[in-house]
Amino acid sequence: MEQRPRRILPLIILAQFLGTSTWFAGNAILPLLQAAWNLPDSAVAPLTNSVQFGFICGALLFSILALADRFSPRVLFFLCATGSALANVLIALWADNLNDVLVLRFLGGMMLAGVYPVGMKIATGWYPEGLGRALGYLVGALALGTASPHFVSALQFSSWQPVIYAVSLAAFISGWLILLGVPDGPALHRGKALSLRDLWIALQHKPLRASAGGYFGHMWELYAVWALVPFWLKAWAESQQVSINIAFWSFTVIAAGLLGCVMGGRWSVKLGSRKVAFYMLLGSGLCCLLSPLAFHWPMLLMLIFWWFWGFTIVGDSPQFSALSAQTSPPAVVGSALTMINCIGFSIAIVSVQLSAIFLAQVPVAWLMWLLIPGPVLGMLSLRWLARQQAE
């Protein structure tokens, strides 16, 4: 594309990183909330799922109203990033119990539906011919943004409010970066509102169903692992009778997904998105299987294991986005992608909730086995997709 400023992709990536930093803020402050409000470990489920449910509702609302097509995506991104910052800073300024936090996390999740997907739409306006690699960077920025509250928490403040202030400021800055630095791209596509008829057409398309099946298996595992990492590391440290900075090492595990997304995007140029997604699922599935053994490994080996898991568990996300776009009937791609994302995040809510229920009943060393069906079903769906594409 002619005359494309070099700053565009770096600014979008930076804005995605800063804008999504609020996503796991509740999880990062959970240990301090537990101390302050006497919360059980099971509180991880509502703290995680309130954001996910808000994201689903926001995605549906934005799609039904076609907001990203009625208004400039960069303006919508700015408004939603600012709204996300406001919803999160109110946690520190106003909330004094878990229910208050959950309401504000839900509202923040709705705003994230105008940050993460809209950021991708902005990228498509500038990178229509290199979207696969661009998506790798953008989803990598999401992984790093998701990890960032753990990094702030690792600084070991005496209260949880500084973490909230930090991620709220990051979200606020992200909106201004897009508004002032990234104009709407020359290839920006104007879609249409969510349509039930389009959803029915999409459901009849076998390659799309196969691709979606892989994504659903991926989502069964992803957010549950991200939510459970601190609990697993805490239990490992207690079993080894060592003291570690759990928030910092949780950050490194989730942040490893940045490299997984970037490298997966590069590998997809030669191997194709389906093969990259399959091998990432295979790697993360093996980690699920081996996690009880890793619980007894020394620290360095255990961390290498978790870094590999962090690398693989989200490295397939950009490829599933690409596969869904490639396998959707062109006339209904917008409605199809909205449907797939909403179902995927609904599946993540169920897996996180189940994991939290079993957290009090099953040794943490074995808890990850609950997630094995995700990668297995995902790989089977991708095998089915390969057969569909071969016919």
Q: How many CB atoms lie within 10 A of CB 288?
A: 21
Model confidence pLDDT, tens digit, residues 58-90: 988 888 887 777 788 899 999 999 999 999 999
pLDDT of residue 284: 97
Residue 334 has a pLDDT of 66
Assigned fold of 196-391:
Growth Hormone; Chain: A; (1.20.1250)
Identify the DSSP state of 329.
Answer: -
Question: Which of 287, 329, 321, 334 lies closest to 219, judged by CA?
Answer: 321
d(CA 74, CA 80): 10
Task: Output helix, strand, coil percentages for the chain, rounded to the nearest 5.
Answer: 80, 0, 20
**Distances from the Cα of 263 to the Cαs of 15, 254, 275, 286, 293, in angstroms?**
20, 15, 13, 19, 27
**Rounded CA separation 227/48 (Å):** 7
Tokens of residue 106, six digits: 């839900």
**Chain length of the chain:** 391
Q: How far apart are CA 93 and CA 277, in angstroms?
A: 42
352 by Cβ neighbours in 10 Å (0-12 / 13-18 / 19+) ranks as buried
The pLDDT, as a whole number, for residue 1 is: 44
CATH class of 1-193: mainly alpha
Task: Tell me whether the CATH fold assigned to 1-193 matches the one assigned to 196-391.
Answer: yes
Q: Do 55 and 19 touch, CB atoms closer than 8 A?
A: no
Residues 6+ apart with CB under 8 A from 190: 69
Measured CA to CA, the distance from residue 51 to residue 309 in angstroms comes to 23
* DSSP SS3 for 193: coil
* Domain positions in the chain: 1-193, 196-391
Measured distance CA(259)–CA(137) in Å, rounded: 9
As a whole number of angstroms, the distance between CA 215 and CA 157 comes to: 37
CA–CA gap between residue 171 and residue 155 (Å, rounded): 20
What pLDDT does residue 189 have?
A: 64
pLDDT by residue for the chain (391 residues), tens only, comes to 446 788 888 999 999 999 999 999 999 999 999 999 999 999 999 999 999 999 999 988 888 887 777 788 899 999 999 999 999 999 999 999 999 999 999 999 999 999 988 888 888 777 766 566 777 888 899 999 999 999 999 998 888 999 999 999 999 999 999 999 998 877 666 666 666 777 777 778 788 899 999 999 999 999 999 999 999 999 999 999 999 999 999 999 999 999 999 999 889 888 988 999 999 999 999 999 999 999 999 999 999 999 999 999 999 998 998 888 788 777 666 677 788 889 999 999 999 999 999 998 899 999 999 999 999 999 999 999 998 877 6
Rounded distance, CA 29 to CA 26, Å?
5
Tell me what pLDDT residue 337 has. 78
